[in-house]
A = this chain, B = another copy of it.
C-alpha cells in the first residue's frame, strides 16, 4: 500500500514513477501539501496554502494535478456537502466525519475507524457485487452531524 509515510522528494518521485506520472515541482508541492495536512482541503484552500508557502503555482494546475492524482489512485476525491470538492491523500478505507454546518471533513482516529470498518461483513459486500453486477473499488463511510461547539447559524 503506497501510504504517504515518507514525504521527501525522492519517495514521492518513486510513487509517481510507479503510477506513470511525471514528477514536477508543482505536483510535488501539491501532493506534499495534501499529504501533510489533516484536513481535507478544497481546491481553493489548497491553492491558498501553496500560494502562502511561496510556491508559485496556478489554480488551473491545482485542478489538473488533482485530477491526475485521482486518476492514478494516489488521491481520493471526496464530496463536501456543499459546492466544491475536497481531496484526501489517504487512500486506504477510513472514516470521515462531516460537519453539516461548515462542510469541513475530518478523519476519525484510526483505531476507532478500523474497529468500525472491520465489522463490515465481507460476504454481504460480495453478495452486493453479485446481485448488482457491480465491482466495489472502495467503501466510503461518512458520519454526518455537527460539533457540539459549532452550534452556530442553524436555521
In chain A, positions 103-135 with a C-beta closer than 8 Å to chain B are 106, 108-109, 112, 115-116, 119-121, 124-125, 127-128, 131-135
B71 and A132: CB pair below 8 A?
Answer: no
Nearest CB of chain B from residue A110's CB, rounded to whole Å: 12
A124 and B116: CB pair below 8 A?
Answer: yes
B144 and A138: CB pair below 8 A?
Answer: yes
Bound Cα distance from A106 to B139, whole angstroms: 15
Residues of B within 8 A of A144 (CB): 136-140
Determine which of B80, B133, B141 lies in contact with A141 in the assembled complex, contact meaning CB atoms within 8 Å: B141
Bound Cα distance from A10 to B26, whole angstroms: 58
- Interface 9-residue window, one of A31-39, A52-60, A147-155: A147-155
Bound Cα distance from A119 to B139, whole angstroms: 15
- Chain A residues near B (Cβ < 8 Å): 71, 77-81, 95, 97, 99-100, 106, 108-109, 112, 115-116, 119-121, 124-125, 127-128, 131-149, 155
